[in-house]
Structure 1
Amino acid sequence: MWLPMLGMTALPHLGGLLGGFITRKEVKTWYLTLKKPSWRPPNAAFPVVWTCLYTGMGYSSYLVWKELGGFTEEAVVPLGLYGLQLALNWIWTPIFFGAHKMKLALIDIVLLTGTVGATMVSWYPVSRTATLLMAPYLAWLCLATALNYRVWRDNREKEE
């Protein structure tokens, strides 16, 4: 049973790795030109934080999957919401850093944050541990949403 655990724990990292290629280039060019709030985390924190968050959310999905007996009818909503939030997470980077669409990225991250909350609500009766493992992710998304808003608000003229 370790193979599903490893696979589901690793899955979120795939989008993170692909997003990292886009981000690395843009952080050194376009992102440098933007006005950013003083309270933003340092750039070096983001890969460390996202590695931890992706690992936690992936393992959490495994716990829910295992508890519900795999991809069963009962798992459609909890794992469907998880899949939706993962897709919203993965598309944020190409929207923000790739296309420089800060407002569209803000809409995406607001939807993402709400979907993570809904995922956690659907997981709570299944696995409290999985739900709690998602709490740091939700907290980080709240910070990231505020940061996305401020960067968009302060740099609207630079949006392409």
Structure 2
Amino acid sequence: MSPEWARIFGAVALPYVGGFLGARITGNKDSANMKWYKELKKVPWNPPSWVFGPVWTYLYGTMGYASYLVWRDGGGFEGAVVPLGMYGASLALNWLWTPLFFKYHLKGWATIEILMYLGVTGATAYLFWPVNQTASKLLFPLLGWISLASTLTIGVLVKNKDKQS
């Protein structure tokens, strides 16, 4: 594998690390976390559970590749420290939501966190734009999905405020 392909692979693979850990936290359909989730009242536009895996698989790949494009065109970490630092913050917030919501059932904190994730990801797309417009545009579907996920999280919070856990 050439060094360039290794960089692409590493950048694309990185988001999947958190996705894999998140999937382990969430568990399969028979896990306690999924049973808890199934019992929650949800908004009518909540997608079926099977949609989340394929969507996140696509989004993790595009966000990883976008980060590679910014790294490449921005002159590495030193040349693109601000946009890549913002991307790192976005990735950390992405990874944090799952344990807050599914493991600890902290609906209020998960709501605050996902809104922060939306803002930081918007800032990431903005900072990617001058470095590589394609990289910025690759984050647009992610922004749309986080927007939807934010409404789902807010909906769970509002519709289940009587449920502690």
Give TM-score scaled by structure 2 length: 0.93
2: CA distance, partners of 1:21 / 1:141? 21
Partner residue, 2:134:
129
Unaligned residue ranges in structure 2 (runs of 5+): none
Partner residue, 2:162:
157
1:17 pairs with one of 20, 23, 26:
20
1:103-143 residue CA offsets vs partner (Å, 9 max, x unmatched): 10000000000000000111101000001110000000000
Partner residue, 1:62:
68
2: CA distance, partners of 1:15 / 1:28? 18
SS of 1:125's equivalent in the other structure is coil
Identical residues among aligned pairs (%): 48
Give TM-score scaled by structure 1 length: 0.96
State the superposition RMSD in angstroms: 1.0
Query: Match of 1:14, as an amino acid?
Result: V
- Misfit runs of 4+, over 3 Å: none
Partner residue, 2:7:
4
The question of whether the paired residues in 2 share the 8 Å contact of 1:96 and 1:105 is answered with: yes
2: CA distance, partners of 1:27 / 1:36? 15
Residue 26 of structure 1 deviates from its aligned partner by 4.4
Unaligned residue ranges in structure 1 (runs of 5+): none
Structure number with greater CO (CA < 8 Å, separation at least 6) is: 1
1: CA distance, partners of 2:32 / 2:10? 30
